[in-house]
Structure 1
Amino acid sequence: MAEGYAHSILPKSAFEVRSAGIETHGLNPRAVKVMAEDGVDISNQTSDLIDMDYFKNADLIITLCGDSKDKCPTIPKGVVHDHWNLQDPAQAIGSDQDILSEFRKTRDIIKKKILEINSQHD
């Protein structure tokens, strides 16, 4: 979701956006659904592992969810790191509507944070 908003909100002339994780799980259909509700198509995104060469040369690294901070490779010196301690909506339990509600909450937090990055860039 963060990659989708970053691509749709941040200026391509100033940001090269990539998303990766410490594990690959595929694209979550609920994430695709709630992003589409907000007009962002993430259906062609992929679940990729961290490319350590790219990671080492990044200017800004944002980690999401608690386990990514614990398991993430060491952030290289000189790289700005921001950790967004979000609950992973894929771990939500309950009815389909309950789970979608968690995805929407996470989506909205991510969108707000991406908009903040954009406003700091202006």
Structure 2
Amino acid sequence: MLKKILFLCTGNSCRSQMAEGFGKMYGKGMEIISAGIEAHGLNPRAVQVMQEAGVDISQQTSDVLTPTMLTDVDLVVTLCGDAKDNCPILPAGSAHRHWGLEDPARSTGSEEEMMNKFRHVRNQIEQLVKELMQVQQ
């Protein structure tokens, strides 16, 4: 059974933050963290769409991946190609999964169109996290 999961993305502002929020909600008893290859700050639209889903990520921080974060990690989930390509060598015994999800922060159009893209990606992430946690129960 997994004890520590790291969700990794490029900027740790949207996708990995949403995954961390859902991971904490569905992964009872597990240590759930997120990080980025860079830190772009917590995206306010990500906070808003997660609030709509009943998950508060407003106190999470956008963090750059450190070697300490990889200590005792059982699973690293990359949520974009950049993170997958730049993911450091994982410690022995760690597993890796890749969820290639579109970056909602790059969406364009009206505010409603952009928010709908965030909601779409949020829903994909929630489903993937639920499936991951069901396997672990």
Identity of aligned residues (%): 47
Q: For residue 107 of structure 1, report the CA deviation from its aligned partner.
A: 0.4
SS in 1 for 2:78: strand
Equivalent residues in 2 for 1:12-27, closer than 5 Å: 12=29, 15-27=30-42
Q: In the alignment, which of 20, 24, 31 is matched to residue 7 of structure 1?
A: 24
1:22–1:68 contact (8 Å) kept in structure 2:
yes
Aligned partner letter, 1:104: R
Q: For residue 77 of structure 1, report the CA deviation from its aligned partner.
A: 3.4
RMSD in angstroms over aligned alpha carbons?
1.1
Equivalent residues in 2 for 1:64-103, closer than 5 Å: 64-103=79-118
SS in 2 for 1:61: strand
Q: For residue 38 of structure 1, report the CA deviation from its aligned partner.
A: 0.6
Q: Runs of 4+ in structure 1 displaced over 3 angstroms?
A: none
In 2, Cα distance between the equivalents of 1:121 and 1:105? 25
SS in 2 for 1:17: strand
In 1, Cα distance between the equivalents of 2:37 and 2:54? 28
Equivalent residues in 2 for 1:30-45, closer than 5 Å: 30-45=45-60
Q: TM-score, normalised on structure 1? A: 0.92
User: Hey, what does 2:43 align to over in structure 1?
Assistant: 28
SS in 2 for 1:58: coil
User: Hey, what does 2:7 align to over in structure 1?
Assistant: none
Q: Specify every segment of 5 or more residues in structure 1 that has no aligned partner in the other structure, as ranges.
A: none
In 1, Cα distance between the equivalents of 2:117 and 2:91? 32
The structure in which a higher percent of residues are strand is 2
Pairs aligned (count): 120
